[in-house]
Amino acid sequence: MYAQVKTAAIFGLNADIIDVEASIDPGLPRFDIVGLPGRAVLEARERVRVAIKSSGYSFPLSRITINLAPAELVKSGAGFDLPIAVAVLVASGQLKQKSNAIYWGELSLYGTLKRLPGVLVVADSIKKRGYSKLITSTINAKESGIIAGINAYGIKNLSECSNPRRMSVSTADFQSAEICENNYDFSEIIGQDQAKRALQIAATGRHHILLSGSPGSGKSMLARSLSSILPPMTLDQKLETTKIHSVAGIVSKQELLIINRPFRSPHHTITRTSLCGGGSTLKPGEITLAHNGILFLDEFNEFSTQAIESLRQPLQEKCVTINRSLHSVVFPADFQLLAAMNPCKCGYLGDPN
């Protein structure tokens, strides 16, 4: 018995279509997954087996082989749980597969589906490849529904796969879901006229700027108020920014669409990998999370030389390229750099007081 189900694997800010093939053959009970599965995908064997039983289905006591194609791509993440379970159920004749559908989701041992980061990237990528139907968890379906042209179907548990419920969502439903990271209003700041004038010029032309002054002079307050005088993002910028934060897993359940421009303020001890992105799963770094917004580097002279030098390419090319042994990912990094520092080690050089 054979079945094929389609899913998606996230690589950076794109997702590739993956064929999940299931073959059930006579023999001693065994459950194998081939096709360069990552650790989380290999662990899906036990999650899928228990979830199928908990959902009222019977797990085939036969030799089960799951192939993830194309085989040259490393598959990672828990989003393969649902397509593997559906492939097993379809191959065993317990479930009918939805035509032209992409299955993506993580299963609990009880068979319920959990929320996963990066669903906006999955929805946008499968749309570009000609697919319009996405079956995933209810909260992920609601989130992915803001991508025009995607029919998102939400299910709470594996037993609902036979009759998924379509989630009808649009960007208009999230216009009030603003992420207010800064409560500083530029117009309410009194004094510092010279610094305020410099920030106004920087905001007008999206110029990078360095604020230098003694401790307590209001550098951080001025920096955090800059976003209040920047123009609002366009709808495309909102979606692009939300996709980035979705992959990073920092979009809340209540605020699914980012309205305000991002304001990122990493600590001066940040590593180059955390700043530029990377890691085993190729996550975006702080400069990508600040895309379409502001990257504020307080205590700029305390940052490592490597971290400062790594800003050169993103500032020039508005993107950052991350190379790993099997992947090469380009993250967008069109941010406005805003730095602040003390003029000397004691911090009071030139201070009249």
pLDDT higher than threshold 80 for residue 242: yes
Q: What is the pLDDT of residue 99?
A: 81
**What pLDDT does 201 receive?**
96
pLDDT at 350: 65
C-alpha distances in Å from residue 21, one per residue of 126, 158, 186: 19, 18, 57
pLDDT per residue as tens digits for the range 87-128: 999 999 999 888 889 999 999 999 999 999 999 999 999 999
Model pLDDT, residue 181: 53
Asked if residue 156 has pLDDT above 90, the reply is yes
Asked if residue 337 has pLDDT above 90, the reply is: yes
Each residue of 344-353: pLDDT tens digit? 877 677 676 6
Q: Are residues 264 and 286 in contact, defined by beta-carbon separation less than 8 angstroms?
A: yes
Task: Please tell me the distance from the alpha carbon of residue 200 to that of residue 226, in angstroms, as a whole number.
Answer: 8
pLDDT at residue 175, rounded to an integer: 42
pLDDT digits (tens, 9 = 90+) for 123-148: 999 999 999 999 999 999 988 888 88
pLDDT at 87: 97
Return mean pLDDT, the chain. Answer: 89
Q: Which of 138, 162, 173 is nearest to 152 (CA)?
A: 138
Q: Note the CATH architecture for domain 186-341.
A: 3-Layer(aba) Sandwich (3.40)
- pLDDT for residue 343: 87
Is residue 295 over pLDDT 50? yes
User: Tens digits of per-residue pLDDT, 10-55?
Assistant: 988 999 999 999 999 999 999 999 999 998 899 999 999 999 999 9
Q: Tell how far CA 170 is from the center of its chain.
A: 19
Q: Is the pTM of this model over 0.75?
A: yes
CA atoms within 13 A on the CB side of 290: 28
What are the residue ranges spanned by the domains of the chain?
A: 2-169, 186-341
Q: What is the mean pLDDT of residues 56-73?
A: 95
The whole-number pLDDT of residue 70 equals 94
- Quick one: pLDDT at residue 216? 82
281 has pLDDT over 90 = no
Query: What is residue 318's predicted lDDT score, i.e. its pLDDT?
Result: 96
Q: Are strands 63-69 and 101-103 parallel, antiparallel or unpaired?
A: unpaired
pLDDT at position 177: 44
CA–CA distances in Å: residue 10 to residues 7, 35, 80, 168: 10, 16, 11, 24
The CATH label, of 3.30.230.10, 3.30.465.10, 3.30.70.20, 3.30.70.520, for the domain at 2-169 is: 3.30.230.10
pLDDT in tens, 220-240: 899 999 999 999 999 999 999
**In the prediction, which pLDDT does 173 show?**
52
Range with the poorest average pLDDT among 223-237, 249-263, 294-308: 249-263
Q: Using only the alpha carbons of the chain, give its radius of gyration.
A: 24
Contact between 221 and 265 under an 8 Å Cβ cutoff? The reply is no
Q: How confident is the model at residue 306 (pLDDT cuts 50, 70, 90)?
A: very high
> Phi and psi for 59 in degrees, rounded to 5?
-85, 125
DSSP string, 243-287: HHHHHHT---SS--S--SPPEE---TT--HHHHHEETTTTEE-HH
Report residue 220: phi and psi, to 5°.
-65, -40
